Each structure stands twice: as C-alpha cells, then as structure tokens.
Amino acid sequence: MTLNAFLFQILNGLSSASGLFLIAAGLSLIFGVTRIVNLAHGSLYMLGTYIAYTFATKIGGVTGFWGGIIATALIVGLLGALIEIVLLRRIYRAPELFQLLATFALVLVINDAALWLWGPADLLGPRAPGFRGAVEILGRRLPTYDLFLIVIGPLVLLALHLTLTRTRFGRLIRAATQDREMVGALGVNQAVLFTSVFALGAALAGLGGALQIAREPANLATDLIALGDAFVVVVVGGMGSIPGAYLAAVIIAEVRALCVGIGTVDFGFVTINFSKFTLVAEFLVMAIVLIVRPFGLLGKAQGAVRSIAEPEEPIRPATPMLKALGVVVLVGLLCLPLLAQGSPYLLVLGIDVLIAVIFATSLHFIMGPGGMHSFGHAAYFGLGAYGAALLVKWLALPMGVALIAAPLLALCGALLFGWFAVRLSGVYLAMLTLAFAQIVWAAVFQWEGFTGGSNGVIGVWPPAPFDKSWAYFLLTLVLAVAAVLLLRRFLFAPFGYAMRAGRDSPLRAEAIGIDVKRVHWLAFGVAGLVCGIGGGLFAFAKGSISPETIHINRSIDGLVMVLLGGVQTLTGPIAGASVFAVLHDTVMRQTEYWRALMGAIILLLVLTFPQGIVGAFASLWRKAGGRL
C-alpha cells in the first residue's frame, strides 16, 4: 500500500467514525445517568435510517433530505422519551438484567415494526443535495459527503462537550452519572432528567442513522450491527466518557478501514487476507483494550452503584414438594417417547427444550450465583458443537468420544476466556465475554478450510440406536439431568458458597481467605464445560451446524431464558429455557412477525412478573402461606 492510499484510507475511516460516535455517545449518556444498558439503541439508529429515507424520498429535495434529517432526530428523540416514560420508568427498581431483557424485547418489536412499515428490501436513499460530487484528494476521488461526515463527528463532540460543561442540564447529567440519588435529594426531579437524557441519546442515534442514508441503504439487520458497534466503541472509550467515545470510534473505524486497505499481503511463507479481519477487528481491539485498561481508554473505575433493587434472596435447597414435582416431571419426560409415538415432532421439540435447559442452567450458574453476566455464552456452546462435529468430520471418531471431547474443548475455551473476564465486572465483563464470543464466531466463519465457513459442517448424524429420535431424546434427557444435578451439587458445596460470597461482597470474601477471582474463574470453567455438553448434543441432534450456533443471537437467547425464569432461583433457568424453547418453536411457526410477538410476550412478562416466572410463582406461593 502506498502512502497516498494509506492516507486516503485514514480519511475514509474518519468519515465512518462519525457515525459510530453518534450512536455510541447516546448509548454512553443513557447508561451513565440511568444505568440502563439500552439494547434498543441500535434499533433507534435503524429507525433513523428508515425515517430519514421516507422524508428524503416522499418530500424530496433539499427540504426532504436536510430537513428530514433534523426531523428524524427529533422524532426518534420523542420516541425515546416515550419508551422511557411508558416502559423503563416502571422497571428502574428491577434488577439490572431485567432492564436488559425489556430493552431487548424492544429490539424485537421495533425490528418487526420496521419490517411491517417499510418491507424487507434494502432502501437506498438519494444522494445528499449540495454534496453530490467528489473532490480529488491524494490522487483519488473522495465523495464530498464523506468530507461532510468527517466534520460532523467533531462538531457533535464539541456541542456535547459544551452542553455537558456549560449548561445546567449538562451539569445535572454529569452529577447524576456519579450519584443520582444525591441529585434527587438536592431537589432535582430524576424522572424528568432521565426522560430528557433518554430522549437526547435517542435523538443522537436517530441523527446518526439519518446521516447514513446517503452512504448505505436502510436495512433490517442494521439494528444489531449498530448495537454491537456502539457497545464496542463505548466500552473501548470508557463508559460515560464522551471524548473517549470519539477516540474509540476513530480507532475502530481506522483499524477497519486499514484492514480493507491493506488487503491481501504475501509474507512469503504465509498469505494473509487482512480484509477478512474486518469482522473481528473491532472485537480484537476491544479485547486488548479491556485486558490492558479494564475501564476503557478514557474511562474511570465505576463508583459502586447504590443498588436500589431488593437484595437477592439466598438460594435454598428444594423443598420435598418441589423435589416431588421434579420427579413427576422427570417420569413424564421418560414416558414421552411412548406418548409421542403419533407425533415425532414432540420428541424433536423435547430435545430442543432439553438442550436449551443445559445451555440456560450453565449460563445461570455464572450469572446468578456468580454474578458474572456473560454476553457470550454461545462461545462455549459453539466450541462444544464444533468440537464434536469436526472430530466426526475429520477424524471419523465415534459419537461417544465426540460427546466427551465437546465439553472438554468448551472447558478449555472457558478457562482461557474466563481468566481475563473474571478480572472485570459488570458491563465491562459482559462486553469482554461478548468480544471473545465474536472472535470465536469470526474465526469459525472465516476459517473455511477447516470449519466449512458459512456452510458449516454437515452430515453429523448419530449412529444406531441413537438415530431413532426416541433414543436420542433419552440420551439427551440423561445428560441434561446429569448436567443440572452436577451444577446443583457445585452450588451447595463450599465452592458454591464461596462463589456467592464473592458475588455479594468481594472484599469481605477475600478478607476471610477466599480467592474470589480463582473461584469465579473455576466457576466460569464449570459453566463452559456443562454448556459444551449441550453444544455436542446440539450438533448430533441437528445433523449439521453453521456459525449461527455461535452467533450473538444465541447468547442473547440464553440471557432471555435465564431472565424469563428468574435469576434468583435454581428452577428459574429450567422453566425459562423450557418456556422460551417452546415459544420459539411454536410462535415462530405461526406468524411472519414472530419477533414482535416474542417481544410483546417478553414485555408483558417483564411488566407483570419482575422476578421472572419462577420468582413470581414463588412469591404468590409465599403470599398463600406456603414455602417453595
């Protein structure tokens, strides 16, 4: 690459950085003040692209385009205010993870709303009036609109900086980011502050989206991509730091642009195609930054958030009645092959549910008792699944060996990633686990020769007698029960007590001689191991696997399962996984708009059962005078 080409790529990167910065800045502001990790932030960005497209094409001209961009920012801002007032305000006191679930439901609903309103096709907006041409820079032609974008980022940064330092609103935002309770005790109405911050953040996302329509088409996949980008930028820059967000946006956009620019390089002994790294570059940057600077480039250690949620109930062993119920369910499941002779689908559904149970209980193990919110649990599921499938494909090993190797591979992955992850906490830990999962995903996706790339691995069928679905169902049942009992055993052993002590008060736990990091690290490994069992079973159940197995969607599904059931009980993840898997397999078949339906169900659950399904039953039960 020549120096000119290099500099040109730098300019390209700067114009992408502006978009990244706009969406990340809003996310960071919202998180700082409300402590809500707004998963719907990417969806607001996506809405920005669609709404601006509509203005630019329906009204057209200068008014339609430039006026449309301003109008879009205002509309999305209003929508943000509406979301805060109608939904989030009701759940500020709920556990942090519940808020995540609610905003994730919004992702689903907004995505289907966009599908319904604008249809599935990509929509490319008109070119920007006044910026249609290109200028020649360094011997290449750079669109003038890109130059405009390069300028927009720093301008917004400056405007935000002045707002935060020179206005009372800005000072309130900064004060509330540190101690919102104290701000309230000084006479500031937090509700109004939260709504306006949410609206501001949403408007920034809408603006970011609207500015993109002249470059990239409006697309239904934008929401999760933009969300991922925004998270990476915020975490790399440091949560709550606006200049940090800009710095991180520039770094990430530049690394990506350079990966594309460098292209394929022949090192003599090996040829590397750098453009393939674009998928994983940002996550690599994030992983490195988090390992070196755990609070991001310009971030500071988070002040302990004064928790307003109820403290967690201790975990109690199941009562005889619940144990009896468990036995009844187990007997029912054992009889399922007999009952389901007429409908083979029931057994397939049963296998799906059991695998989901393994996945969710293993995630719950680190999330609930461990207090480590992993956003990348799919990595261990995927390692198990790919481990099993590749052993069969390349070494033709029997299923038994593959099913044993799968959890071991997942264990290795979990121990490796966990070693870094347990050094962080909260959102940073969540993001680092996500980064590792994305790296695994990208590796599988790109390493076509070994993993089959996007085609995945096919023909991973179980040998007789497990080729019959009843036999495979029973195998899955045995392993699932074993997995759940193993995790339960860990939780009621001293190891489990140490884990929970480390979650509740890390300093005191260390003071009585518990090596909290080591305990949490081992817990991470155990969770990975068990999750790998599920992954191995999954590969043989489906007969083929693709990178979808490790996709971020699966990690999020796991979170939804755990939260749906309730984090604070051991039966929670089992119930949550079952309900989720059944809903997923049934609702999905009913309607084209399954996401919206799923989202609506989750929202209903969140608003009516803020402790999860099992938690809600337990408190109903207690009110009725019993103990579960």
Report the site for another protein in 236-255 (rule: CB under 8 A): none
The distance of closest approach from Cβ of residue 181 to another protein in the complex, given in angstroms and rounded to an integer, is: 7
Total interface residues for another protein by CB under 8 A: 21
The distance of closest approach from Cβ of residue 169 to another protein in the complex, given in angstroms and rounded to an integer, is: 11
d(CA 289, CA 294): 7
d(CA 143, CA 141): 6
d(CA 106, CA 83): 9
d(CA 164, CA 167): 6
Residue 124 burial by Cβ neighbours in a 10 Å radius (0-12, 13-18, 19+): middle
Q: Between residues 86 and 308, which has the closer beta carbon with respect to another protein?
A: 308
Angle between helices 469-491 and 320-339 (to 10 degrees): 170
Q: Between residues 549 and 611, which has the closer beta carbon with respect to another protein?
A: 611
The distance of closest approach from Cβ of residue 194 to another protein in the complex, given in angstroms and rounded to an integer, is: 12
Question: What amino acid is encoded at 149 in this protein?
Answer: L
Q: Between residues 280 and 618, which has the closer beta carbon with respect to another protein?
A: 618
Strands 134-137 vs 140-143: parallel, antiparallel or unpaired: antiparallel
The distance of closest approach from Cβ of residue 178 to another protein in the complex, given in angstroms and rounded to an integer, is: 5
Q: Between residues 240 and 547, which has the closer beta carbon with respect to another protein?
A: 240
What secondary structure, in 3-state letters, does 50-93 show?
HHHHHHHHHCCHHHHHHHHHHHHHHHHHHHHHHHHHHCHHHHCC
Do 351 and 501 form a contact (C-beta atoms < 8 A)?
Answer: no
Q: Beta partners for 218?
A: 123
Report the site for another protein in 162-191 (rule: CB under 8 A): 168, 171-172, 174-175, 177-179, 181-190
Report the site for another protein in 188-227 (rule: CB under 8 A): 188-190
The distance of closest approach from Cβ of residue 622 to another protein in the complex, given in angstroms and rounded to an integer, is: 13
Through-space distance between the first and last CA atoms of the chain, rounded to whole angstroms: 67
Q: Between residues 190 and 619, which has the closer beta carbon with respect to another protein?
A: 190
Distances (CA, A) of 146 to 19, 99, 123, 211: 11, 37, 19, 10
* By the rule CB under 8 A, 623 interacts with another protein: no
Report the site for another protein in 549-608 (rule: CB under 8 A): none
Q: Between residues 163 and 178, which has the closer beta carbon with respect to another protein?
A: 178
The distance of closest approach from Cβ of residue 291 to another protein in the complex, given in angstroms and rounded to an integer, is: 26
Residue 168, token pair as written in the block: 């009372």
Sign of the Cα torsion 506, 507, 513, 517 reads positive
Q: Beta partners for 273?
A: 264
Site string for another protein, 309-328 (x = CB under 8 A): -xx-----------------
The distance of closest approach from Cβ of residue 303 to another protein in the complex, given in angstroms and rounded to an integer, is: 8
Site string for another protein, 411-450 (x = CB under 8 A): ----------------------------------------
Report the site for another protein in 284-313 (rule: CB under 8 A): 308, 310-311
The distance of closest approach from Cβ of residue 189 to another protein in the complex, given in angstroms and rounded to an integer, is: 5
Q: Between residues 32 and 261, which has the closer beta carbon with respect to another protein?
A: 32
DSSP-derived letter for residue 311 is P
The distance of closest approach from Cβ of residue 171 to another protein in the complex, given in angstroms and rounded to an integer, is: 5
Distances (CA, A) of 10 to 16, 146, 258, 360: 10, 12, 7, 43
Residue 414, token pair as written in the block: 């979990």
Q: Between residues 396 and 507, which has the closer beta carbon with respect to another protein?
A: 507
Do 446 and 461 form a contact (C-beta atoms < 8 A)?
Answer: no
Residue 175, token pair as written in the block: 């004060």
d(CA 243, CA 241): 6
The distance of closest approach from Cβ of residue 183 to another protein in the complex, given in angstroms and rounded to an integer, is: 6
Q: Between residues 179 and 510, which has the closer beta carbon with respect to another protein?
A: 179
Q: Between residues 186 and 331, which has the closer beta carbon with respect to another protein?
A: 186
The distance of closest approach from Cβ of residue 158 to another protein in the complex, given in angstroms and rounded to an integer, is: 19
Q: Which residues of 357-371 are buried (b: 16+ CB within 10 A; e: fewer)?
A: bbbbbbbbbbbbbbb
Q: Between residues 168 and 623, which has the closer beta carbon with respect to another protein?
A: 168
Name residue, tokens 């080729």. 467
Q: Between residues 186 and 288, which has the closer beta carbon with respect to another protein?
A: 186
d(CA 387, CA 404): 10
Question: What residues make contact with another protein under the rule CB under 8 A?
Answer: 168, 171-172, 174-175, 177-179, 181-190, 308, 310-311
